């Protein structure tokens, strides 16, 4: 196993490599992530009323987020492919935007934080794509891991401080 005092994805010569996880224990691992799409209040109404020129944004963004989580190792070079057992992507209406929350679960040898972050990011990008005809100034912000569990490093829970929801002019 790699020396914990060194960066696990960097070899002695400084080159990046994929970490060997073959000796790690299989455990249940979960991650919860969030992100925000800020837009004008009238666009939020259009999103939640399914009244956008491109159609109903939230079901499309949900499927995109699930697909993004499943494809994480294809777009994040050093991520291991994992058998994802559960992926959820949900949306919360806010006055000036949409909060996106993704949860990912597996039984495996490495965590699913990147998959949860990819789900949120892909869903947010899809919301922006769906609303760009009515708001070219939408902002994606605050993408972060809220919680993770399982594995040798143990559980993590983000601090309770507020996350910036971006700015919208």
Distance of alpha carbon 75 from alpha carbon 64, whole angstroms: 14
With beta carbons less than 8 A apart as the criterion, state whether 131 and 40 touch.
Answer: no
The one catalytic residue in 20, 49, 56, 129 is: 129
51 is catalytic: no
Q: Please enumerate in sequence order all residues whose Cβ is within 8 A of that of 154, keeping only pairs 6 or more positions apart, or say none.
A: none
Sheet holding 84-94, edge to edge: 84-94, 97-108, 27-38, 139-149, 156-157
User: What amino acid positions are annotated as catalytic residues?
Assistant: 129
């Amino acid at each position: 196993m790699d020396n914990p005092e060194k960066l696990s994805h960097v070899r002695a010569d400084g080159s990046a490599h994929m970490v060997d996880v073959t000796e790690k224990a299989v455990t249940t691992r979960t991650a919860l992530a969030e992100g925000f799409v800020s837009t004008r209040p009238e666009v939020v109404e259009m999103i939640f009323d399914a009244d956008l020129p491109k159609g109903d944004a939230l079901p499309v963004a949900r499927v995109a987020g699930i697909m993004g989580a499943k494809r994480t190792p294809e777009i994040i070079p050093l991520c291991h492919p994992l058998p994802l057992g559960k992926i959820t992507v949900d949306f919360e209406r806010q006055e000036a935007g949409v909060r996106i929350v993704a949860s990912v679960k597996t039984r495996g040898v490495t965590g699913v934080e990147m998959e949860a972050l990819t789900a949120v990011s892909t869903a947010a990008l899809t919301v922006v794509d769906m609303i760009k005809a009515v708001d070219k100034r939408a902002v994606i912000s605050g993408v972060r891991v809220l919680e993770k569990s399982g594995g040798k490093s143990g559980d993590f829970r983000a601090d309770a401080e507020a996350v910036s929801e971006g700015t919208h002019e």
